[in-house]
Chain A
Amino acid sequence: MKKRFLAAAGLMALAACLSGCQGSQGTAASTNGGEAASDTSAASDEDKTLTLWIFLNPESTEDARSIVLKNIVEKYNDENENGYQVVVESMNWDKIETAAIQAAAANTGPDIINFFSDYLQTHIEGGTVQPMTQYAEEFIASMPDYLHTADSLKIGGEIYGLPWETRVYVNWYRKDIYETLPNSLDELVEMAAEKTDERGLGFALGLSEGSSASTFMESFIPWIHSAGGELLDPDGKPLFNSDAGVRVLNTMKALYDSGAMDNSVLSMTLDDVQDGFKAGTIYGISVGSHRASTLYNSDLAENFVSAPIPGFESGTPAPALVAGQTLALGKYCKNTDAAFDFITYFFSEETQIEFLKANSMTVRSSLYDNPDVQALENYDDLAAWNEYASTGTMTVHPDDYAELSVSLVKAAQEVIFNGADPKEQLDSVAAWYNEKHGF
């Protein structure tokens, strides 16, 4: 108890010392405190609310997925027989980990938490979630068309989260600029250099360390897979400092050297890359399928086309990088029965079809055969992404994935912009990672 108190106080202390950062953290200001996770199925008479922390904002109409969330919450609040009401606390997607871990250190947190699958291990290690194995196994068994099996979701023998959507990272091109799409990464370099003109870049990878270098990793991982390499081995040891890793960095450098990209990509995050594409100053980018709704909200949308990320071998796309938004029970959930009951609402056919309409790929494979889905305007995109997604699997990354990503993008920056040796840079990151983990 004393350690817990000190940990929470330590977090508060650091926050207090960093007075200038108060506005940036986006922490959940009000959370309903709960007792420790044991016996959490007992409902409290006093507090019948369940808090949900999620990046979507049901008050917003900007993202079609937010409207679906609003409908789910309203439906659950109207229909459920246990008397619970779900209250949504919306926060920026890259602030959820920070807020949840801070809250967990103070023995509190949301009843239900949504996060990106890349950070599952971070939430487990940070003590923000609790196992939901019993609930999940039974639920998955009742949903035979679910993309994941119970075993594939287990970490250390327990299931901690259920992905309710899936996404695959694809390349987006301006079809009025690219008459034909590149069949390989070498071709991408060549074509992108040709397409670059005064108005825009032929292709852009975001190489900023902002947002935990996520946009860089979303290309680095499929590219290294395509080159026959891996990021880490099953024990978590670095494998990226291989010939495959070197080849990836050399190809990224070729994009810069050929003029397809310029210095501006150094400070670009995912949002900058996306906004540049929407504004017509970038002609090719690599972002996830889930960003389609946002991309299509552009005057140039009729010229946008997506395609699998090309690989090093002509005609063979890079193995897909698949991830998804995941729902979990908060460590200090007041009533796990009610909370899991709410989670199941995300997986109904009706809800999943609504998410499909919002360009969010379903986790229920049979829905692609559903006539209502086949009649959707965006069905061709969805079907193509689903087909590409089947070439990859969802990966559980280590809990320090953000730190590793930033170290890797810094190595890439040195190679691409300062002409550093790629092997030396990758070896240096691997040595740091090995030392950190005692490998």
Chain B
Amino acid sequence: MTAEKKTRRWKDKWISIIFVAPTILLILFVSIVPMVIAFRTSLHDTNYGEILGFVGLKHYKQILLTGDGWNNIFNTILYAMGSLAVVIPLGVMAAVGLNNKLKCVTLLRTLIILPWVLSQTVVALLWKWLLNGNFGPVSYVWFALTGEKADFFNTAWIARITVILVNVWFTFPIVLILTLAALQSIPLDLFEAAKVDGASRRDLFWKITLPMIKPTILTAVVMQSMEYFSMVTLIFVMTAGGPFDATETISLRAFKEGFTYWHLGLGSAFSIVIFVMNILFSLIYVRILRNKED
């Protein structure tokens, strides 16, 4: 290797480092350092913002060895998986539909994407009002049709399903956008060649479209899963975790313990549990989708 080549490589290496460094530093200070501090806090007792004595795994035992803690974990998995199970197929189907040449496609895309631009607070307040059992418009129509009051938030399983469906309404547009972008990047030649070979519409979807957008779906699954595991506002505003803790997820509990009751150590332990669950579930998704690919 000539000296000139070596110098060039050395320069390229440093230029790469300079470009990557801001991102690495940002991740380090905004994600890694807070996580390390949260882990440290979770091992201590606290009084408001003050960190007190080391208590070891006391807070983790409080989560993992109590019915309350497992109820939160169950609610979290149900909320995340229930939402994903509806959001991904719905987002993909809507994207495939909107990828066709339809009349008013731009208007349709705008309308469907609209929920995504709203904040969690606005969405939660909107649906809380719409579904309110006493004065909500949905309840009013329901009462007019059935003569009975609608009850969306006062029975454990109905409340769980309600928050999942509201979450689906709120978040499926991002899956739609990602999938639509992936669909538009598939070369049309592939479809034309398959058609020449006698492929049906179903074959085109299952054998060309779906495999081509699989990486995007995986990205969407991981992204949405992480978002659902960490979601607080939507549930907090709609149900505050009730009725009877049926919608109290780990992230909501972490928020309440940390910022309402000021049990910062316990709140931090809950946030570490969320982090671990995010890692575990992401690994599971990647493995499942890779295995299928293999």
Contact = CB atoms under 8 A, between A and B. Distances in A.
B237 interface: yes
Range, interface on chain A: 35 or more
Nearest to A6: B51
Nearest to A201: B134
Nearest to B235: A20
A7 interface: yes
Interface in B10-58: 30-31, 33-38, 40-41, 46-51
A337 B8 CA distance: 65
B72 interface: no
A209 B246 CA distance: 12
Contact of A264 (B133, B251, B274): B133
A21 B134 contact: no
Nearest to A25: B259
Interface in B253-280: 254-255, 258-262, 264, 267-268, 271-272, 274-275
B233 interface: yes
Contacts of B47: 125
A98 B260 contact: yes
A343 B230 CA distance: 40
A210 B242 contact: yes
Given A14-B258, A24-B121, A98-B260, A6 B232 contact: no
A421 to B, nearest CB: 17
Nearest to B232: A21
A10 B153 contact: no
Contacts of B38: 10, 13-14, 16-17
A209 B240 contact: yes
Nearest to B131: A267
B115 interface: no
Given A13-B33, A14-B258, A268-B134, 4 more contacts: A16-B38, A21-B233, A264-B154, A279-B134
29 contacts: A3-B50, A8-B49, A9-B33, A10-B49, A11-B49, A13-B35, A13-B37, A13-B38, A13-B268, A14-B41, A14-B258, A16-B30, A16-B34, A16-B38, A18-B255, A18-B274, A23-B121, A23-B233, A24-B233, A24-B236, A98-B260, A102-B49, A105-B48, A127-B48, A212-B260, A264-B133, A275-B132, A281-B134, A402-B261
Interface of A: 3-4, 6-21, 23-25, 98, 101-102, 104-105, 125-127, 200-201, 208-212, 262-264, 266-269, 272, 275-276, 279, 281-282, 400, 402-403, 410, 413-414, 417-418
